[in-house]
A = this chain, B = another copy of it.
Amino acid sequence: MTSRRDVRRTRRRNTATAITIHDVAARAGVSVATVSRVLNGKQLVREETSRQVRAAAEILRYVPNVAARSLSIRRSQTIGIVLPEVHGEFFSEVIRGLDLAARAQGYHILVSGSHSDPAEMLEVVDAMRGRVDGLVVMAPDVTLAPLEELRTRDMPVVLLNSSSSSADAITIDNYGGARAMMRHLHGLGHTRIAFVRGPQQNADARERLRGYRHAMRGMAASSLRALECGGDFTEESGFIAGGKLAAASSRPTAVFAANDSMAVGVLAAFAAEGIKVPEAVSVAGFDDIPIARYVAPPLTTMRVDIAELGRRAFAMLLDAILRSASHPSVQENVATTLVVRGSCAAPASLPNVNTQPHRALRGRKSGLGKGEGS
Protein backbone atom coordinates (compact mmCIF):
# COMPACT_ATOMS: atom_id res chain seq x y z
CA MET A 1 0.00 0.00 0.00
CA THR A 2 2.82 2.41 0.65
CA SER A 3 4.61 2.98 -2.61
CA ARG A 4 7.91 4.70 -3.01
CA ARG A 5 6.02 7.68 -4.25
CA ASP A 6 4.04 7.97 -1.04
CA VAL A 7 7.21 7.99 0.97
CA ARG A 8 8.52 10.86 -1.03
CA ARG A 9 5.38 12.88 -0.60
CA THR A 10 5.42 12.28 3.09
CA ARG A 11 8.93 13.44 3.41
CA ARG A 12 8.25 16.62 1.50
CA ARG A 13 4.86 17.19 2.96
CA ASN A 14 5.09 20.93 3.30
CA THR A 15 6.40 21.61 -0.17
CA ALA A 16 3.69 22.94 -2.46
CA THR A 17 3.61 20.13 -4.99
CA ALA A 18 0.83 19.80 -7.50
CA ILE A 19 -1.74 17.04 -7.10
CA THR A 20 -0.80 13.91 -9.00
CA ILE A 21 -2.54 10.77 -10.03
CA HIS A 22 -1.04 9.10 -6.99
CA ASP A 23 -2.83 11.46 -4.66
CA VAL A 24 -6.11 10.74 -6.35
CA ALA A 25 -5.45 7.01 -6.19
CA ALA A 26 -4.67 7.18 -2.50
CA ARG A 27 -7.74 9.21 -1.75
CA ALA A 28 -10.01 6.91 -3.72
CA GLY A 29 -8.38 3.83 -2.26
CA VAL A 30 -7.38 2.36 -5.60
CA SER A 31 -4.26 2.08 -7.72
CA VAL A 32 -2.96 4.66 -10.15
CA ALA A 33 -3.75 2.36 -13.01
CA THR A 34 -7.41 2.40 -12.09
CA VAL A 35 -7.44 6.16 -11.84
CA SER A 36 -5.86 6.42 -15.24
CA ARG A 37 -8.41 4.03 -16.65
CA VAL A 38 -11.32 5.93 -15.22
CA LEU A 39 -10.06 9.29 -16.37
CA ASN A 40 -9.32 8.14 -19.85
CA GLY A 41 -12.50 6.13 -19.98
CA LYS A 42 -11.19 3.43 -22.25
CA GLN A 43 -11.28 0.29 -20.22
CA LEU A 44 -13.65 -1.57 -17.99
CA VAL A 45 -13.99 -0.22 -14.49
CA ARG A 46 -16.79 -0.94 -12.09
CA GLU A 47 -19.31 1.89 -11.93
CA GLU A 48 -18.88 2.14 -8.18
CA THR A 49 -15.11 2.47 -8.36
CA SER A 50 -15.39 4.91 -11.18
CA ARG A 51 -17.59 7.19 -9.11
CA GLN A 52 -15.19 7.16 -6.19
CA VAL A 53 -12.26 8.02 -8.38
CA ARG A 54 -14.11 10.83 -10.06
CA ALA A 55 -15.14 12.19 -6.70
CA ALA A 56 -11.59 12.11 -5.40
CA ALA A 57 -10.28 13.84 -8.52
CA GLU A 58 -12.97 16.46 -8.21
CA ILE A 59 -12.25 17.19 -4.56
CA LEU A 60 -8.52 17.38 -5.05
CA ARG A 61 -8.98 19.47 -8.21
CA TYR A 62 -6.71 17.06 -9.98
CA VAL A 63 -5.36 18.15 -13.34
CA PRO A 64 -3.31 15.60 -15.26
CA ASN A 65 0.21 16.64 -16.13
CA VAL A 66 0.25 16.92 -19.89
CA ALA A 67 3.99 16.70 -20.20
CA ALA A 68 4.02 13.34 -18.46
CA ARG A 69 1.11 12.20 -20.54
CA SER A 70 2.76 13.27 -23.77
CA LEU A 71 5.94 11.54 -22.77
CA SER A 72 4.11 8.34 -22.07
CA ILE A 73 1.80 8.15 -25.04
CA ARG A 74 4.21 9.97 -27.37
CA ARG A 75 1.67 12.38 -28.66
CA SER A 76 1.04 15.98 -27.70
CA GLN A 77 -2.51 16.50 -28.90
CA THR A 78 -1.24 19.67 -30.43
CA ILE A 79 -0.79 20.76 -34.01
CA GLY A 80 1.39 23.56 -35.26
CA ILE A 81 0.47 26.17 -37.78
CA VAL A 82 3.06 28.19 -39.63
CA LEU A 83 1.95 31.26 -41.51
CA PRO A 84 3.86 33.74 -43.64
CA GLU A 85 2.60 36.46 -41.35
CA VAL A 86 0.42 36.13 -38.31
CA HIS A 87 -1.43 39.14 -39.50
CA GLY A 88 -4.34 40.34 -41.56
CA GLU A 89 -7.92 39.25 -42.06
CA PHE A 90 -7.01 36.29 -44.16
CA PHE A 91 -4.58 34.61 -41.82
CA SER A 92 -6.58 35.27 -38.72
CA GLU A 93 -9.56 33.69 -40.36
CA VAL A 94 -7.55 30.60 -41.19
CA ILE A 95 -6.46 30.37 -37.58
CA ARG A 96 -10.04 30.66 -36.46
CA GLY A 97 -11.17 27.80 -38.69
CA LEU A 98 -8.33 25.64 -37.45
CA ASP A 99 -8.93 26.51 -33.83
CA LEU A 100 -12.55 25.55 -34.05
CA ALA A 101 -11.92 22.27 -35.77
CA ALA A 102 -9.01 21.39 -33.54
CA ARG A 103 -10.75 22.14 -30.29
CA ALA A 104 -13.67 20.00 -31.32
CA GLN A 105 -11.25 17.08 -31.44
CA GLY A 106 -9.38 18.00 -28.28
CA TYR A 107 -6.37 19.36 -30.10
CA HIS A 108 -4.49 22.55 -29.39
CA ILE A 109 -2.79 24.84 -31.84
CA LEU A 110 0.67 26.30 -31.69
CA VAL A 111 0.99 29.33 -33.93
CA SER A 112 3.98 30.97 -35.49
CA GLY A 113 4.73 33.39 -38.26
CA SER A 114 7.71 33.07 -40.55
CA HIS A 115 7.90 36.46 -42.22
CA SER A 116 7.73 34.76 -45.57
CA ASP A 117 11.35 33.83 -45.10
CA PRO A 118 12.27 30.23 -45.99
CA ALA A 119 15.13 30.05 -43.54
CA GLU A 120 13.06 31.40 -40.71
CA MET A 121 10.31 29.01 -41.65
CA LEU A 122 12.57 26.03 -41.25
CA GLU A 123 13.73 27.37 -37.93
CA VAL A 124 10.17 27.72 -36.74
CA VAL A 125 9.35 24.23 -37.88
CA ASP A 126 12.37 22.85 -36.08
CA ALA A 127 11.35 24.56 -32.89
CA MET A 128 7.95 22.92 -33.16
CA ARG A 129 9.35 19.48 -33.70
CA GLY A 130 8.36 17.25 -30.84
CA ARG A 131 5.90 19.82 -29.60
CA VAL A 132 3.31 18.98 -32.17
CA ASP A 133 1.83 15.90 -33.79
CA GLY A 134 1.59 17.54 -37.17
CA LEU A 135 1.89 20.80 -39.02
CA VAL A 136 -0.22 23.02 -41.22
CA VAL A 137 2.06 25.17 -43.28
CA MET A 138 0.91 28.09 -45.33
CA ALA A 139 3.64 29.30 -47.59
CA PRO A 140 2.26 30.64 -50.84
CA ASP A 141 5.26 32.86 -51.40
CA VAL A 142 8.31 30.70 -51.12
CA THR A 143 9.75 28.09 -53.34
CA LEU A 144 9.01 24.55 -52.37
CA ALA A 145 12.44 23.19 -51.61
CA PRO A 146 12.32 23.75 -47.85
CA LEU A 147 8.82 22.35 -47.64
CA GLU A 148 9.83 19.13 -49.24
CA GLU A 149 12.63 18.79 -46.78
CA LEU A 150 10.48 19.18 -43.73
CA ARG A 151 8.02 16.70 -45.03
CA THR A 152 10.57 13.97 -45.10
CA ARG A 153 11.51 14.59 -41.51
CA ASP A 154 8.97 12.45 -39.73
CA MET A 155 6.13 14.91 -39.14
CA PRO A 156 2.84 14.87 -41.06
CA VAL A 157 2.34 18.13 -42.90
CA VAL A 158 -0.53 19.74 -44.75
CA LEU A 159 0.25 22.57 -47.13
CA LEU A 160 -2.11 25.48 -47.52
CA ASN A 161 -2.19 27.60 -50.67
CA SER A 162 1.11 26.24 -51.77
CA SER A 163 1.36 24.71 -55.17
CA SER A 164 2.83 21.35 -54.35
CA SER A 165 1.86 18.17 -56.02
CA SER A 166 3.69 15.71 -53.84
CA ALA A 167 2.41 16.57 -50.37
CA ASP A 168 -1.01 16.70 -48.76
CA ALA A 169 -2.37 20.06 -49.71
CA ILE A 170 -5.40 22.28 -49.78
CA THR A 171 -5.74 24.97 -52.35
CA ILE A 172 -8.29 27.53 -53.41
CA ASP A 173 -9.93 27.28 -56.80
CA ASN A 174 -8.24 30.44 -57.95
CA TYR A 175 -8.26 29.60 -61.60
CA GLY A 176 -11.93 28.68 -61.70
CA GLY A 177 -12.83 31.67 -59.58
CA ALA A 178 -11.00 34.10 -61.80
CA ARG A 179 -12.71 32.68 -64.85
CA ALA A 180 -16.11 32.90 -63.16
CA MET A 181 -15.53 36.55 -62.39
CA MET A 182 -14.46 37.20 -65.95
CA ARG A 183 -17.61 35.51 -67.19
CA HIS A 184 -19.62 37.78 -64.95
CA LEU A 185 -17.91 40.91 -66.24
CA HIS A 186 -18.20 39.75 -69.80
CA GLY A 187 -21.88 39.07 -69.23
CA LEU A 188 -22.29 42.68 -68.17
CA GLY A 189 -20.83 43.76 -71.48
CA HIS A 190 -17.20 44.41 -70.59
CA THR A 191 -14.40 43.50 -72.94
CA ARG A 192 -11.69 45.96 -71.95
CA ILE A 193 -10.99 44.45 -68.56
CA ALA A 194 -7.81 45.38 -66.72
CA PHE A 195 -6.16 43.11 -64.16
CA VAL A 196 -4.16 44.04 -61.08
CA ARG A 197 -1.72 41.23 -60.42
CA GLY A 198 -0.56 39.87 -57.06
CA PRO A 199 3.02 38.99 -56.09
CA GLN A 200 4.82 37.01 -58.75
CA GLN A 201 5.98 34.34 -56.32
CA ASN A 202 2.53 33.82 -54.90
CA ALA A 203 0.81 30.66 -56.02
CA ASP A 204 -2.69 32.08 -55.58
CA ALA A 205 -1.84 35.20 -57.51
CA ARG A 206 -0.43 33.17 -60.35
CA GLU A 207 -3.51 31.06 -60.75
CA ARG A 208 -5.81 34.04 -60.70
CA LEU A 209 -3.71 35.67 -63.36
CA ARG A 210 -3.87 32.50 -65.42
CA GLY A 211 -7.66 32.49 -65.19
CA TYR A 212 -7.81 36.12 -66.26
CA ARG A 213 -5.53 35.60 -69.23
CA HIS A 214 -7.36 32.55 -70.39
CA ALA A 215 -10.64 34.45 -70.31
CA MET A 216 -9.20 37.43 -72.13
CA ARG A 217 -7.86 35.22 -74.86
CA GLY A 218 -11.28 33.65 -75.20
CA MET A 219 -12.83 37.09 -75.59
CA ALA A 220 -10.51 38.01 -78.43
CA ALA A 221 -9.84 41.20 -76.58
CA SER A 222 -7.68 44.04 -77.70
CA SER A 223 -4.04 44.50 -76.68
CA LEU A 224 -3.80 42.19 -73.70
CA ARG A 225 -0.49 43.21 -72.21
CA ALA A 226 -1.40 46.84 -71.72
CA LEU A 227 -4.26 45.92 -69.45
CA GLU A 228 -2.23 44.22 -66.73
CA CYS A 229 -0.84 46.10 -63.76
CA GLY A 230 1.67 45.02 -61.13
CA GLY A 231 0.67 44.65 -57.50
CA ASP A 232 1.57 42.81 -54.32
CA PHE A 233 -1.76 42.15 -52.59
CA THR A 234 -1.58 45.28 -50.42
CA GLU A 235 -4.05 48.16 -50.45
CA GLU A 236 -1.22 50.48 -51.30
CA SER A 237 -0.23 48.64 -54.46
CA GLY A 238 -3.89 48.68 -55.49
CA PHE A 239 -3.99 52.40 -54.92
CA ILE A 240 -0.97 52.91 -57.14
CA ALA A 241 -2.34 50.64 -59.84
CA GLY A 242 -5.64 52.51 -59.71
CA GLY A 243 -3.81 55.76 -60.23
CA LYS A 244 -2.05 54.39 -63.30
CA LEU A 245 -5.23 52.99 -64.80
CA ALA A 246 -7.04 56.27 -64.26
CA ALA A 247 -4.36 58.07 -66.20
CA ALA A 248 -4.15 55.50 -68.98
CA SER A 249 -4.80 56.69 -72.50
CA SER A 250 -7.60 54.25 -73.25
CA ARG A 251 -9.13 53.49 -69.92
CA PRO A 252 -10.55 50.00 -69.32
CA THR A 253 -14.25 49.69 -68.59
CA ALA A 254 -13.61 47.28 -65.73
CA VAL A 255 -10.80 46.47 -63.32
CA PHE A 256 -10.38 43.03 -61.81
CA ALA A 257 -7.97 43.04 -58.86
CA ALA A 258 -6.33 39.78 -57.80
CA ASN A 259 -7.52 40.32 -54.23
CA ASP A 260 -9.91 42.51 -52.29
CA SER A 261 -7.27 44.54 -50.51
CA MET A 262 -5.98 45.78 -53.84
CA ALA A 263 -9.52 46.35 -55.11
CA VAL A 264 -10.08 48.58 -52.10
CA GLY A 265 -6.94 50.48 -53.03
CA VAL A 266 -8.19 50.84 -56.60
CA LEU A 267 -11.49 52.22 -55.33
CA ALA A 268 -9.66 54.73 -53.16
CA ALA A 269 -7.56 55.85 -56.11
CA PHE A 270 -10.61 56.28 -58.34
CA ALA A 271 -12.41 58.19 -55.61
CA ALA A 272 -9.43 60.50 -55.30
CA GLU A 273 -9.48 61.09 -59.07
CA GLY A 274 -13.21 61.69 -59.11
CA ILE A 275 -13.89 58.67 -61.28
CA LYS A 276 -17.31 57.23 -60.54
CA VAL A 277 -17.66 53.52 -59.75
CA PRO A 278 -19.47 51.68 -61.22
CA GLU A 279 -20.79 54.31 -63.68
CA ALA A 280 -17.47 55.13 -65.32
CA VAL A 281 -15.63 51.93 -64.51
CA SER A 282 -16.45 48.68 -62.72
CA VAL A 283 -14.18 47.22 -60.04
CA ALA A 284 -14.04 43.61 -58.82
CA GLY A 285 -11.95 41.79 -56.24
CA PHE A 286 -11.23 38.32 -54.92
CA ASP A 287 -11.53 36.81 -51.38
CA ASP A 288 -14.56 38.64 -49.96
CA ILE A 289 -12.82 39.94 -46.90
CA PRO A 290 -15.16 41.44 -44.31
CA ILE A 291 -14.85 45.10 -45.29
CA ALA A 292 -15.62 44.30 -48.91
CA ARG A 293 -19.27 45.00 -48.29
CA TYR A 294 -18.63 48.26 -46.50
CA VAL A 295 -16.55 50.15 -48.97
CA ALA A 296 -18.30 52.55 -51.31
CA PRO A 297 -19.60 51.15 -53.52
CA PRO A 298 -19.81 47.68 -51.99
CA LEU A 299 -17.39 45.38 -53.73
CA THR A 300 -18.31 42.64 -56.17
CA THR A 301 -15.92 39.78 -55.48
CA MET A 302 -15.25 36.03 -55.44
CA ARG A 303 -15.84 34.70 -51.98
CA VAL A 304 -13.40 32.26 -50.45
CA ASP A 305 -14.57 30.49 -47.34
CA ILE A 306 -11.37 30.93 -45.45
CA ALA A 307 -12.44 29.39 -42.18
CA GLU A 308 -13.49 26.34 -44.16
CA LEU A 309 -9.97 26.21 -45.51
CA GLY A 310 -8.69 25.95 -41.97
CA ARG A 311 -11.28 23.38 -41.02
CA ARG A 312 -10.44 21.16 -43.92
CA ALA A 313 -6.74 21.51 -43.34
CA PHE A 314 -7.20 20.22 -39.83
CA ALA A 315 -9.33 17.32 -40.95
CA MET A 316 -6.74 16.34 -43.49
CA LEU A 317 -3.91 16.65 -41.00
CA LEU A 318 -5.70 14.62 -38.38
CA ASP A 319 -6.21 11.96 -40.95
CA ALA A 320 -2.52 11.94 -41.76
CA ILE A 321 -1.63 11.76 -38.09
CA LEU A 322 -3.91 8.87 -37.32
CA ARG A 323 -2.96 6.61 -40.15
CA SER A 324 0.57 7.75 -39.65
CA ALA A 325 2.06 5.31 -42.12
CA SER A 326 2.94 7.04 -45.32
CA HIS A 327 -0.05 7.14 -47.59
CA PRO A 328 -0.67 8.52 -51.04
CA SER A 329 -0.87 12.29 -50.77
CA VAL A 330 -4.21 14.02 -51.05
CA GLN A 331 -5.02 17.30 -52.74
CA GLU A 332 -8.20 19.22 -52.09
CA ASN A 333 -9.49 22.29 -53.79
CA VAL A 334 -12.02 24.60 -52.24
CA ALA A 335 -14.56 26.32 -54.41
CA THR A 336 -15.21 30.04 -54.62
CA THR A 337 -18.51 31.87 -54.91
CA LEU A 338 -19.40 34.93 -56.96
CA VAL A 339 -20.76 37.69 -54.73
CA VAL A 340 -22.44 40.47 -56.66
CA ARG A 341 -22.52 43.90 -55.04
CA GLY A 342 -22.58 47.44 -56.34
CA SER A 343 -19.10 47.97 -57.74
CA CYS A 344 -19.77 46.43 -61.12
CA ALA A 345 -22.32 47.43 -63.76
CA ALA A 346 -22.64 47.49 -67.52
CA PRO A 347 -20.09 49.71 -69.23
CA ALA A 348 -21.26 53.27 -69.99
CA SER A 349 -20.62 52.79 -73.68
CA LEU A 350 -23.43 50.26 -73.92
CA PRO A 351 -26.49 52.03 -72.52
CA ASN A 352 -28.76 49.69 -74.48
CA VAL A 353 -27.67 46.66 -72.50
CA ASN A 354 -27.90 48.62 -69.30
CA THR A 355 -31.05 46.96 -68.06
CA GLN A 356 -30.34 43.55 -69.46
CA PRO A 357 -27.19 42.96 -67.38
CA HIS A 358 -28.94 44.28 -64.33
CA ARG A 359 -31.56 41.64 -64.60
CA ALA A 360 -28.86 39.08 -65.06
CA LEU A 361 -27.17 40.46 -62.00
CA ARG A 362 -30.27 40.03 -59.89
CA GLY A 363 -30.71 36.53 -61.11
CA ARG A 364 -27.16 35.60 -60.27
CA LYS A 365 -27.37 36.89 -56.77
CA SER A 366 -29.32 33.87 -55.65
CA GLY A 367 -28.94 31.39 -58.44
CA LEU A 368 -25.39 31.22 -59.62
CA GLY A 369 -22.37 31.64 -57.51
CA LYS A 370 -20.77 28.25 -57.26
CA GLY A 371 -17.20 28.27 -58.28
CA GLU A 372 -16.17 25.10 -60.01
CA GLY A 373 -13.31 22.73 -59.31
CA SER A 374 -10.25 23.16 -61.41
Q: Which of B66, B68, B103, B111 contacts A99 (CB 8 A)?
A: B111
Closest 8 CB pairs of A and B: A92-B92, A67-B70, A271-B296, A67-B71, A66-B130, A86-B96, A235-B294, A268-B294
Interface of A: prevailing SS: helix
**A21-29, A39-47, A121-129, A345-353 - interface stretch:** A121-129
Residue of B nearest to A115 (CB): B100
Decide: A235 near B86, CB < 8 A? Known: A95-B111, A108-B128: no
A116 at the interface (CB under 8 A from B): no
Contacts of A295 in B (CB 8 A): 264, 268, 294-296
A71 to B86, CA, bound (A): 29
Decide: A112 near B109, CB < 8 A? Known: A92-B89, A235-B294, A294-B239: yes
Contacts of A112 in B (CB 8 A): 99, 103, 108-109
Task: State the number of copies, please.
Answer: 2
Q: Which of B109, B154, B235 contacts A111 (CB 8 A)?
A: B109
Decide: A130 near B64, CB < 8 A? Known: A99-B112, A111-B109, A294-B268: yes
Contacts of A66 in B (CB 8 A): 130-131
Decide: A291 near B235, CB < 8 A? Known: A67-B71, A86-B96, A92-B92: yes
Residue of B nearest to A65 (CB): B130
A76 at the interface (CB under 8 A from B): yes
Contacts of A328 in B (CB 8 A): none
A297 to B100, CA, bound (A): 37
Would A265 and B294 count as touching, CB distance under 8 A? yes
Contacts of A74 in B (CB 8 A): 67
Would A87 and B93 count as touching, CB distance under 8 A? yes
A345 to chain B, nearest CB (A): 16
A267 at the interface (CB under 8 A from B): yes
